[in-house]
Chain A
Amino acid sequence: MLPELGQFSLILAFCLSIILGSLPIVGASTNNLLWMSLARPLAAGIFVFLAISILILAYAFATDDFSVQFVAQHSNSLLPTRYKLTAVWGGHEGSFLLWTFMLSGWMLAVAIFSKSMPLDFVARVLGVLGILCVGYILFMLATSNPFDRIVPLPPAEGADLNSALQDFGFIIHPPTLYMGYVGFSVVFAFAIAALLSGRLDAAWARWSRPWANVAWAILTIGIALGSWWAYYELGWGGWWAWDPVENPPLITWLFGTALIHSLAVTEKRGVFKSWTVLLAILAFSGSLLGTFITRSGLLTSVHAFASDPGRGVFILAILGIAVGGSLLLFALRAPLMKSEFGFEPLSREIFLLANNVLLVVAAASVFLGTLFPMVYQALTDNLISIGPPYFNAIFVPLMGILVVLLGIGPITRWKKTSLVFLTSQLSKVAMLSVVLGVVIPLVIVLRFSFAATITIVLAAWILLSMLRDIKNKTANKPDLRSGLKALSGSYYGMQLAHIGVVVMMIGVALTSSFSAEKSVLLAPSESIDLGDYQFQFNGTLPVTGPNYIGDEATFIVTKGGNPVTELYPQRRLYLASGTPSTEMAIDAGILRDLFITLGEVKENGAWSMTIYIKPFIRWVWLGAILMACGGMLAAADKRYRRLRSRSEEKAVNSGRAGLRTAI
Chain B
Amino acid sequence: MKNLRFYIPVSVFVVLAVVMWRGLYLDPKELPSMLIDKPLPAFALTTVEGAAITQQDLPQQVFLLNVWGSYCLPCLIEHPTLMRLAEAGEIPVVGVNYRDKQELALRWLDDNGNPFAFSILDEDGRFGIDLGVYGAPETYLVDAEGVIRFRHVSVLDEQVWAEKFVPAIAELRRENN
Contacts and interface: CB of A to CB of B under 8 A. Distances in A.
A303 B24 contact: no
Contact of B79 (A153, A301, A302, A374): A153
A300 B28 contact: yes
Contacts of B157: 69, 150
Interface stretch (A91-99, A245-253, A328-336): A328-336
| Most chain A CB within a 10 A radius of its CB, from B21, B31, B154 | B21
B10 interface: yes
Interface in A98-130: none
Given A155-B77, A274-B6, A307 B28 contact: yes
B34 interface: no
Interface in B86-132: 113
A89 B9 CA distance: 34
Given A69-B77, A331-B6, A152 B84 contact: yes
B17 A378 contact: no
A324 B157 CA distance: 36
A257 to B, nearest CB: 19
B73 A331 contact: no
B107 to A, nearest CB: 14
Interface in A307-363: 307, 309, 312-313, 316, 319-320, 323-324, 327-328, 330-332, 334-335
Contact of B23 (A69, A153, A274, A298): A298
A564 interface: no
Contact of A152 (B10, B23, B71, B80): B80
Contact of B28 (A151, A159, A160, A304): A304
A281 B10 CA distance: 11
A73 B28 contact: no
Nearest to B14: A324
A438 interface: no
A316 B17 contact: yes
B163 to A, nearest CB: 9
Contacts of A282: 9
A558 B21 CA distance: 56
B170 interface: no
B140 to A, nearest CB: 15
Interface string A6-49: 00000000000000000000000000000000000000000000
Interface in B23-44: 23-26, 28-31
Interface in B11-25: 13-14, 16-17, 19-25
Interface residues of B, number: 34
Nearest to B24: A312
A528 B26 CA distance: 49
A168 B22 CA distance: 38
A421 interface: no
A657 B8 CA distance: 45
A158 B73 CA distance: 7
Interface residues of A, number: 55
Q: For the complex, would chain A's binding face be called helix, strand, loop or mixed by DSSP majority?
A: helix
Given A302-B28, A303-B31, A292 B13 contact: no
Contacts of A153: 79-80, 83, 113
A643 interface: no
Given A327-B13, A331-B9, A378 B79 contact: no
Contacts of A298: 20, 23-24
A2 interface: no
Contacts of A371: 16, 19-20, 23
A615 B6 CA distance: 47
A576 B13 CA distance: 44
A296 B13 CA distance: 18
Contacts of A307: 28
A331 B154 contact: no
A278 interface: yes
Contact of A313 (B9, B24, B73, B74): B24
A571 B28 CA distance: 32
A605 B150 CA distance: 47
A375 B6 contact: no
B174 to A, nearest CB: 26
A156 B74 CA distance: 12
Interface in A488-517: none
Given A305-B153, A319-B17, A155 B9 contact: no
Contact of A151 (B9, B26, B80): B80
Interface string B41-72: 00000000000000000000000000000010
Contacts of B6: 274, 330-332, 334-335
| Most chain B CB within a 10 A radius of its CB, from A278, A304, A316 | A316
Given A305-B154, A306-B154, A319-B17, A156 B23 contact: no
A469 interface: no
A323 B3 CA distance: 20
B76 interface: yes
A327 B10 contact: yes
A169 interface: no
Contacts of A316: 17, 20-21, 24
A653 interface: no
15 contacts: A153-B79, A155-B73, A278-B9, A297-B24, A313-B24, A316-B21, A319-B20, A327-B9, A331-B9, A374-B19, A377-B23, A377-B26, A378-B22, A383-B29, A577-B73
Given A307-B28, A323-B13, A330-B10, 7 more contacts: A157-B73, A278-B9, A281-B9, A303-B28, A324-B14, A331-B3, A332-B6
Which 7 pairs across A and B sit closest by C-beta, in order of nearness?
Answer: A153-B80, A327-B10, A335-B3, A155-B76, A312-B24, A159-B73, A374-B23
Interface of A: 69, 72-73, 150-160, 274, 278, 281-282, 285, 292, 296-298, 300-307, 309, 312-313, 316, 319-320, 323-324, 327-328, 330-332, 334-335, 371, 374-375, 377-378, 383, 576-578
